[in-house]
Amino acid sequence: MKTLEQTTDEILGLAAQHFKIPREQLAPSDDFYKKLKIDSLRALELITRLEHHFGIELPDYEVQGVTDFRTLASRIQARL
Amino acid sequence: MLDLSKYDSLGAALTGAMERWPDELCLIEADREHERCRLTYREFGGAALRLAAGFQKNGFAPGDRAAILMSNQSKWLISAYAVFYCGGVLVPLDYKLTSAEHLALVRHSKSSVLIVEYPIWRALSQSDFSETRVETILVTETPAGADLAGAKRWEEFRGEKAPEFRPRKQEDAACIVYSSGTGGRPKGCVLTHENYLEQCATVSPLWPFWPGARYLSIIPTNHAIDFMGGFIMPFTGGGTVVHLRTLRPEYIREAFTRYKITYMAVVPLILKNLERGLRDRFAALPPMKRRVLNALVRVNRMATRRRPRLWLSRLLLKQVHQAFGGELRALLVGGAFTEPKTLEFFHDLGIQIANGYGCTEACTAITVNDMKPFRPDTLGKPVAGMQLRIVNAGADGVGEVAVRSKTVMSHYLDDPELTAETVVDGWLLTGDLGKIDASGHLQLLGRKKNMIVTAEGKNIYPEDIENVFESLPVKEFCVFAANYLWPQRTMKDEKLVLVVRPDPNQNANGTMRGELELRNQRLAPYKRISGYVLWSEDFPRTASLKVKRNVLAEQIGRQLDRSAVQPL
3-class SS of residue B180 = strand
Are both B13 and B159 inside the same structural domain?
Answer: yes
> Does residue B535 lie within any of the structural domains?
yes
Are both B521 and B480 inside the same structural domain?
Answer: yes
Pair B259, B214: CB distance under 8 Å: yes
Are both B303 and B395 inside the same structural domain?
Answer: yes
Burial of residue B99 (CB within 10 Å: 0-12, 13-18, 19+) is middle
Short-list B388, B389, B432, B390, CA closest to B179: B432
Q: What is the DSSP string of B425-471?
A: TTEEEEEEEEEE-TTS-EEEEEESSS-EE-TT--EE-HHHHGGGGTT
Q: Give Dmax (Cα) for chain A.
A: 32
Rounded to whole angstroms, the Cα distance separating B133 from B126 reads 17
pLDDT at B457: 80
Give the per-residue SS3 of B44-113. Answer: HHHHHHHHHHHHHHCCCCCCCEEEEECCCCHHHHHHHHHHHHCCCEEEECCCCCCHHHHHHHHHHHCCCE
pLDDT at B459: 84
Burial of residue B418 (CB within 10 Å: 0-12, 13-18, 19+) is middle
pLDDT at B464: 79
Would the CB atoms of B119 and A61 count as touching at under 8 Å? yes
Are both B273 and B408 inside the same structural domain?
Answer: yes
Contacts of A41 in chain B (CB under 8 A): 249, 269-270, 273
Are both B33 and B120 inside the same structural domain?
Answer: yes
Pair B46, B258: CB distance under 8 Å: no
Are both B209 and B314 inside the same structural domain?
Answer: no
User: SS3 breakdown of chain B: % helix, strand, coil, rounded to 5?
Assistant: 35, 25, 40
Helix or strand holding residue B517 (H, E): helix B511-522
Contacts of B98 in chain A (CB under 8 A): 65
Count: domains in chain B:
3
Domain ranges across chain A: 4-77
Output B292-300 pairs: Cβ under 8 A, ≥24 positions apart: B293/B317, B297/B348, B297/B349, B300/B348, B300/B349, B300/B350
Q: What is the pLDDT of residues B239-285, one digit of tens each?
A: 999 999 988 888 998 999 999 999 999 988 888 888 988 999 999 99
Best interface-test mutation with B: which of A20, A56, A61, A66 has the largest number of B CBs within 10 A? A61
Pair B56, B163: CB distance under 8 Å: yes
A59 → closest Cβ in B246, B250, B521: B246
Question: In the structure, how many helices (H) and strands (E) does chain B have?
Answer: 19, 28
Would the CB atoms of B71 and A67 count as touching at under 8 Å? no
Higher-pLDDT residue of B408 and A33 is: B408
> Does residue B428 lie within any of the structural domains?
yes
State whether residue A29 sits within 8 Å of chain B by CB: no
Would the CB atoms of A57 and B32 count as touching at under 8 Å? yes
Which portions of chain B are predicted below pLDDT 70?
181-184, 506-509
CATH code, domain carrying B508: 3.30.300.30
Rounded to whole angstroms, the Cα distance separating B202 from B385 reads 7
Pair B343, B355: CB distance under 8 Å: yes
Pair B132, B150: CB distance under 8 Å: no
> Does residue B525 lie within any of the structural domains?
yes
| End-of-domain residue from the set B236, B264, B292 | B264
Short-list B408, B426, B431, CA closest to B484: B431
Are both B218 and B280 inside the same structural domain?
Answer: no
| End-of-domain residue from the set B234, B264, B294 | B264
Contacts of A31 in chain B (CB under 8 A): 521, 525
**ipTM of predicted assembly, 2 dp:** 0.86
Contact residues for B64 (Cβ-Cβ < 8 A; gap 6+): B86, B88, B89, B112, B113
Its pTM stands at 0.91
Report helix angle A40-54 to A4-19, nearest 10.
130
- Domain range for residue B431? 267-447
Contacts of A65 in chain B (CB under 8 A): 96, 98, 524
Rounded to whole angstroms, the Cα distance separating A33 from B496 reads 17
Contacts of B526 in chain A (CB under 8 A): 40
Are both B532 and B398 inside the same structural domain?
Answer: no
Would the CB atoms of A45 and B120 count as touching at under 8 Å? no
Q: What is the pLDDT of residues B217-238, one digit of tens each?
A: 999 999 999 999 999 999 999 9
pLDDT at B447: 84
Enumerate the H helices of B267-379 as residue ranges.
268-283, 287-303, 310-316, 318-323, 340-348
Strands (E), B286-426: 330-333, 353-357, 367-368, 381-382, 387-391, 399-404, 411-412, 423-424
Pairing of strands B531-534, B496-501: parallel
CATH code, domain carrying B163: 3.40.50.12780
Taking CA atoms, B227 is separated from A35, B3, B20, B253, in Å, by 34, 19, 21, 22
pLDDT at B512: 84
State which fold the A4-77 domain adopts.
1.10.1200
| End-of-domain residue from the set B422, B447, B472 | B447
Q: Which of residues 46-65 of A touch B (CB under 8 A)?
A: 47-48, 57, 59-62, 64-65
Helix or strand holding residue B227 (H, E): helix B224-227
Are both B46 and B99 inside the same structural domain?
Answer: yes
Are both B151 and B44 inside the same structural domain?
Answer: yes
Are both B271 and B235 inside the same structural domain?
Answer: no
pLDDT at B509: 64
Rounded to whole angstroms, the Cα distance separating B283 from B265 reads 26
> Does residue B454 lie within any of the structural domains?
no
pLDDT at B291: 96
> Does residue B27 lie within any of the structural domains?
yes
Short-list B497, B526, B465, CA closest to B183: B465
Rounded to whole angstroms, the Cα distance separating B294 from B292 reads 5
Pair B535, B556: CB distance under 8 Å: yes
Best interface-test mutation with B: which of A31, A56, A60 has the largest number of B CBs within 10 A? A60
Are both B271 and B175 inside the same structural domain?
Answer: no
